[in-house]
Amino acid sequence: MATQPEYRGRFAPSPTGPLHMGSLLTAVASYLDARASSGTWLLRIEDIDPPREVPGAGDSILRSLEAHGLYWDETELYQSTRLEAYAEALDGLTECGEVFRCCCTRATLGPGGNCLKRCSPAPEDVTALRVSLLGNVGFDDKILGPQAPGLSANDLVLRRKDGLYAYALAVVVDDAWQSITDVVRGEDLLSQTFSQLELLAQLKAAQPSYAHVPIVCDASGVKLSKQAGATAIDDKAALANLRKALELLYQDSAQLPAGSTQELLELATSLWNPRALKAAKALVYP
C-alpha cells in the first residue's frame, strides 16, 4: 500500500508591497494547515515581475512574518534565481508541440483572453509564448468541495512579450521542484488552478491538493490588495493581528487567552479547522 508523501506547503507572496490583512490571513491559514499536519512550511518570494515590484518589499514581508511568529522551514526561495528552470520547462513543452507564438493584443484576444492559435505572427513579430490546454481537469478543493472542469479549450501565457516568464509557468515549475503536496491560498486564484493542474500534467509532475480560503474585502466589498492600497499590517501589533486573522478564518482559537504569538499559534494549530470556512463568503476587514 502506497504511503502518503510528507506534507509540504508554501506561502508565496509577490514583493509588490508590505503584507496587509488579506495576505496575513492567507499566510496564517497556510501555516496552520502545515503545522496541524506535522508538515513542512516553505516561503517562496515570487519576484519575477520587476515592473510591479516595490524596492524592499521582499525584506519587509520576511520581517512581518517573523514578527508574527510565522517561521518557515528551509531557506526561502526567490523565483528570480530560477529562470533557467523555467526556460528548461518551456523548452520541454515546446518540444512536445504544446507551445505556440502569439502576437495578439488585449483588443484582439478572443473570449476569456484566449488566442486559440487564431493569430499568424510573422517571424520578426514580438510575441508571447502560450500553451494549448483542453480545459478538462477538475479537482476536489479541501474547503470549497468538488470543482468541475471547464470543458473548453483555452490557452495560457507562459512567457510574456517583454520576455518575462509568467506566473502560470513559474508557480507549477516551483511547486513541482519543491515537492509541494498542499497549497492553501486565496479564492481569487481558484480559476487559475484548473490550468495549473493541466500544466502540471503536461510537465509530468505530481499534482498538489488545493484549499482556497475566502478573500478579504473592505467594507465596500473591494478585495484587499496592494494594488488597491490596502493598509500594511502593524508588526508591533502582531498578537492582535493574529487574533483578527483567526477570527476572519472562523477559528475557535481566536478568543482563547494567549500571552504571545507563539502561544496563540500553538493553540490555533491544535484547533485548526479549515472546514469552518466551507460556508464562509467574502471576509470583511476591518
Q: Is 272 helix (H, G, I), strand (E, B) or coil?
A: coil
Residue spans of the domains in the chain: they are: 8-284
Sequence-distant (≥ 6) Cβ neighbours of residue 29 within 8 angstroms: 184, 211, 213, 249, 274
Burial class for 222, CB neighbours closer than 10 Å (0-12, 13-18, 19+): exposed
- What pLDDT score does 50 carry? 94
Model confidence at 197, pLDDT cuts 50, 70, 90, reads: very high
Question: Model's pTM, two decimal places?
Answer: 0.93
Gap between the Cα atoms of 63 and 113, Å rounded: 37
pLDDT, tens only, 148-183: 987 677 899 999 999 999 999 999 999 999 999 999
Q: Which residue has the cell 531557506?
A: 75
8 Å CB contact between 157 and 168: yes
- What pLDDT score does 2 carry? 52
Q: Which CATH superfamily is domain 8-284 in?
A: HUPs (3.40.50.620)
Look up residue 147 and give its DSSP letter: E
What is the mean pLDDT of the segment spanning 238-252? 96
Q: Which residue has the cell 463568503?
A: 281
Number of DSSP helices (H) and strands (E) in the chain, helices first: 7, 12
Q: Is 40 helix (H, G, I), strand (E, B) or coil?
A: strand
